[in-house]
Structure 1
Amino acid sequence: MTDQAVDTSGPAGTTGTEGPDTVAPPRFFGRARELKELRADIERAGLDTMAGRRSGRARVLLIAGRPGSGRTALAEELSRRLLDTGDYPDGVLRARLGEPGGAPVPGERAARELLGRLDVAGPPGADEDELTEMVREALAVRRAVLLLDDAADAAQVDPLLPDNPDCLVVATAQGPLTGIPGVRPCTLGGLDAASAVQLLAREIGDVRVTVDPLTAETLAEECGGLPAALVMVAGLLADRPTASVADVTKQLRELPEDTELPTGARPLARAFRLVHDSLAPTPARILRLLALAPAGLADAHTASALAGCSVSAARTTLDDFVRLGLLRGDGAAEPQYEVPGCLAPMLRALLEERDRPAEIQLARARLLERTVRLLQSCRAVTDPEGSPSRRKLAGLPRSLRFPHPEAAADWLRRRRPALLASAAVAVEDGELDTLARRLVAALVRALAVHEGTEAAAPDLYGLHGLVLAVAERRELPRERAAALLNLADLDAGTGRTREALVRYRAALDAGRAAKDPYATGRAMESIGGAHAELGDYQRASDWYGRALAQRLTQGERADEARLYGRLGTVHTYAGRYGEALRNWRAAAAGYRRLGDLPAQARALSEIARVQEYAGRPQESLQTCREAVEWARRAEDVRLQAALELRLADTLDRLGDPAAAGLHRGAAERLLGEESVAYEIRSAATEN
């Protein structure tokens, strides 16, 4: 569980890479001894150095402590002070290794988080080993601090350790990281009495502490010196200016202890229960429902949907929770709030204890429905004015509309971790599959329109995997075929052609089971493309032929022409020029019937290429001239210029340099002063 103690770290640390020129950090209380030990441990000789050789890996510092002890805050403060020294000019990179509920974050996700902050693109579908290796390679040439927050064990940390002694790793965990050599944990208990009282005074004012300093010390002892507990109790006192420190101390002392918890965890649990029980029924219910916030991240819409209240009322309540130390806000104009990891398990336990399962399920459904509508709005705002989607958007409540595409893109970027987590949780839950499918579909469309499919490919890969999981669980062959095709396309795009081929075949089976002609035709064509990529032109032509036969029965002329072109391409690669010419001529005829002049010109250009390969240069010359004429009619200047250059090359080979020069001059005139060798792409590569 991530332990982000508000008292010692102030607002949540900046995501991404933090440089030494960031704003001054908030006041930090206590931990002077621990900071001194950690700084000394950086210089301490490791086992490799003692043996006479410099270590080839980064030094690892471990800060161990219970949830609420301020271990993350101490790690952040240490990192800030290290940046001030100038020894780590590449800043701080932070990755969270624990979910709010306590489960370990998958290594693949943690590695992608770090790669994103290093501005390195991780290929979609890559496994954990490949991604962690990319992290190590990127850090091998940097001098940075790597902060790994809330590690469950050494197996999470070890794959991310840079093979670079100029980097430093600061990890936080509940216990030792057995298996990583040379690591001595800096174990945290509670704050010392003076620092604890200073923290209380900061939150409630010096006067209320100085009038009864002994009671303030007693209150700190009742909180076990745990910063998270102190912040909550101080928030309660600040919210009740007429209450004395003695009153709150008495209330806290009278609360029964949960004997099932470890002794060290009981002060935090009692402080949380005291603050929760002090809330009015509606805010208390909203607080409990935040246990359902995906990835522990919430905004006003999240709380509004969960509780069924207005967005403005939800935002006011969330701001109140920040003042009480129950949440952390990011200070943005449209703030996002984080449930501290040390409180998340207690929130969930209290939710299950106080609220009925049917109410919890209804809150989940409301949250998913609200998220779907926001994502639909996020995508629709990019459509032209007057379009059906924009007219539909205008009918939504103002709180669900974005004023312009930039605002929608900013919301999507900030809420992205929560949105991805929401999709994963919805699919894993399995009880709201219809809403889950709508959520994933809306998220895919929003990411594609705002970021582009290539940039969003890693996230899209995971989302299509979620769709596949739902389709298989619900036995939906049509959706299964679509998910498999999307995943296979992403595999093919990153060079995993054999893996893509397996998925294309599975998609074909699913498409046949669903009696979906589009899915089966698309799968057969894609299988042909995969075989062509692998150099198996015989199988490629066979599968293209099957796909073509299906298109011919359905009268899909554009698809027919494209498939004739694909067949022409693989026959050309295989050296079967007669078959290639027949198919390219059929493609050209198909494009002519469709009135697609640029595609017809490209098909004629490919015919000329094949004729030249077949040793028929005069025919190639004539066909290329015909292609130039069609490109001129299509007013495709770049294509016309490219064909003029091809004519020039053919004439050179035929021994007519003067005519070749004329055609090169024509190409240069078409392109102005630019002389660009425009490569004609085969119609086989066009979709």
Structure 2
Amino acid sequence: MLDRAQWFVAGMSIALSVQLSQPVAAAVPVGKVVQTAQTNSSEAAEKAANQGVQLYKQGTAEALRGAIVKFEEALKLYREAGDNRAQALSLLVLGKVYSELGEKQKALEYYSQSLPLFRAVGDRSQEAITLNKIGSVYSVLGEKQKALEYYSQSLPLRRATGDRSGEATTLNNIGKVYSDLGENQKALDYYNQSLPLRRAVGDRSGEATTLNNLGILYSELGENQKALDYYNQSLPLSRAVGDRSGEATILSNIGSIYSELGENQKALDYYNQSLPLRRAVGDRSG
């Protein structure tokens, strides 16, 4: 099963391919030679992008580096073809790959280049995605107010384009920022807006994430039974979608609650379920 990130990159590849079937706007007066050159550049770009996707799916750091080379190659060729939308998509994918490699500043550079291109071609859906991703990078970098600024730009675009799944994601992300800032009631409000949307669109992975976030929030508020209730709703969803990293996190969170409650044997049982999953996914910090 492909995880959400893999589906994202695969989706970008499909979008790039679809874009190639549309007429390409020439940067110079159209002639047969120019059209042929643009077509050749576009075909070569599509090939490079598809190779990048295949490397990305391998998931190793080495393969991700190889994917970057291919997406950079595609980007250069799309520029030669004068295809702004495909350039924007390539930049967005490159930002995603750098983010996965932990190079957040580099990711931010690519996302920031893609944003004006999406605006220039009037693609509000991809603009919303890019704004959300910029917000996520700023959140990881600890710049919470900047994160909120970008999420707040993304949210109305999600709604305007009818992207309920994306809307749920951005609502969840805003909730997480408020939780990090200690503004628990605001966090709760946003999580509670996100959760029914997750369920409505059948996003079980996203639903598991929001339920886990609610569990964390209630745990921080000292409401351990409520926290357990949300964790216990989240756990089977993570298992159902094959999210072993998420499953490990939830198991550990449940263990922490039982530890707080003084039920040490139960806590140990959950930690012992979490540990091999952490090792299996290479989560050394967890």
Normalising by the residue count of structure 2, what TM-score does the alignment of the two structures yield? Answer: 0.69
Cα 1:490–1:473, aligned 2, differ >3 Å: closer, same or farther? same
Match of 1:622 in 2: 226
Match of 1:604 in 2: 211
1:436 aligns with 2:51: no
Matched residue, 2:188: 581
Write the distance in 1 (CA, Å) between the matches of 2:238 and 2:89: 35
- Conservation of the 8 A alpha-carbon contact between 2:151 and 2:174: yes
Q: 1:676 to 1:534 in 2, by over 3 A?
A: closer
Q: Quick check: 1:502 aligned with 2:126?
A: no
Q: Taking structure 1 as reference, are residues 458 and 484 closer, same or farther at Cα in structure 2, changes over 3 Å only?
A: same
The question of whether the paired residues in 2 share the 8 Å contact of 1:604 and 1:623 is answered with: no
Superposed CA deviations along residues 433-464 of structure 1, whole A, max 9, x for unmatched, are 31222123223324533673654433433333
Letter of the 1:557 counterpart: R
Q: How far has the Cα of 1:513 moved from its partner?
A: 0.6
| Contact 1:527/1:540 (<8 A) preserved | yes
2:76 is aligned to 469
Q: 1:317-343 CA distances to partner (integer Å, 9 max, x unpaired)?
A: xxxxxxxxxxxxxxxxxxxxxxxxxxx
* Aligned-partner SS, 1:676: helix
Does 2:32 align with 1:452?
Answer: no
* Counterparts in 2 of 1:503 and 1:430: CA distance versus 1, 3 Å: farther
CA contact (8 A) 1:601 1:630 kept: yes
Change in Cα spacing, 1:430 to 1:640, as seen in structure 2 (3 Å) is closer
Partner residue in 1 for 2:119: 512
Give the structure 2 partner of residue 676 of structure 1.
Answer: 274
1:603–1:440: structure 2 CA closer, same or farther, 3 Å change rule?
same
Match in the other structure for 1:539 = 146
Contact 2:251-2:273 within 8 A present in 1 as well: no
AA matched with 1:531: Y
Match of 1:498, SS?
A: helix
Structure 1 distance, partners of 2:54, 2:71, is 16
Compute the displacement of 1:663 (Å).
6.0
Deviation at 1:635, TM superposition (A): 6.1
Q: Supply the AA of the counterpart residue of 1:452.
A: Q
From the superposition, tell whether residues 471 and 621 of structure 1 become closer, same or farther in structure 2 (CA, over 3 Å).
Answer: same
Number of the residue aligned with 2:90: 483
More strand by share: 1
Q: 1:604–1:627: 8 Å Cα contact kept in structure 2? A: yes
| Residue 471 of structure 1: how far off its partner (Å) | 3.6
Distance change in 2, residues 1:568/1:487 (3 Å): same
Partner residue, 1:652: 259
Go from structure 1 to structure 2 and tell me whether the alpha carbon gap of 1:583 and 1:441 turns closer, same or farther (over 3 Å shift): same
State the partner residue of 1:559: 166
Q: Give the structure with the higher percent helix.
A: 2
Q: Give the SS at the match of 1:515.
A: coil
Deviations 1:384-435 (A, max 9, x none): xxxxxxxxxxxxxxxxxxxxxxxxxxxxxxxxxxxxxxxxxxxxx9962312
Sequence identity of aligned pairs in percent? 18
Partner residue of 2:156 out of 549, 573, 578 = 549
1:439 to 1:548, Cα distance in 2 relative to 1, 3 A? same
Alignment partners' CA distance in 1, 2:78 and 2:119:
15
Q: Is the counterpart of residue 593 in structure 1 residue 197 in structure 2?
A: no
Q: Structure 1 residues 594, 482: closer, same or farther in 2, change over 3 A?
A: closer
- For residue 357 of structure 1, what is the aligned residue in structure 2? none
Cα distance in 2 between the residues matched to 1:456 and 1:633: 29
Give the Cα separation in 1 of the matches to 2:266 and 2:128.
46
CA 1:481–1:617: 2 relative to 1, 3 Å: same
1:523 equivalent among 118, 130, 140: 130
1:605-626 CA-to-partner distances (Å, cap 9, x unmatched) read: 211212222xx222x4224224
Question: What's the offset of the Cα at 1:585?
Answer: 2.0
Root mean square deviation, CA, Å = 3.3
1:617 alignment partner, SS class: coil
Counterpart secondary structure, 1:432: helix
Count of aligned pairs: 239
In structure 2, the gaps of 5 or more residues are: 1-33, 279-286
Structure 1 segments unaligned to the other structure (5+ residues): 1-428, 669-673, 680-687
Is the CA contact (8 Å cut-off) linking 1:608 and 1:623 kept in structure 2? yes
| Residue 461 to residue 635, structure 1, CA distance change in 2 (3 Å) | closer
Shift of 1:589: 2.0
CA separation of 1:603 and 1:563: change in aligned 2, threshold 3 A:
same
Q: How far apart are the structure 1 equivalents of 2:94 and 2:78?
A: 14
Q: Is the 8 A contact 2:42 2:81 kept in 1?
A: no
**Residues 589 and 516 from structure 1, CA distance in 2 versus in 1: closer, same or farther, beyond 3 angstroms?**
same
The 3 A distance-change label for structure 1 pair 627 and 594 is farther
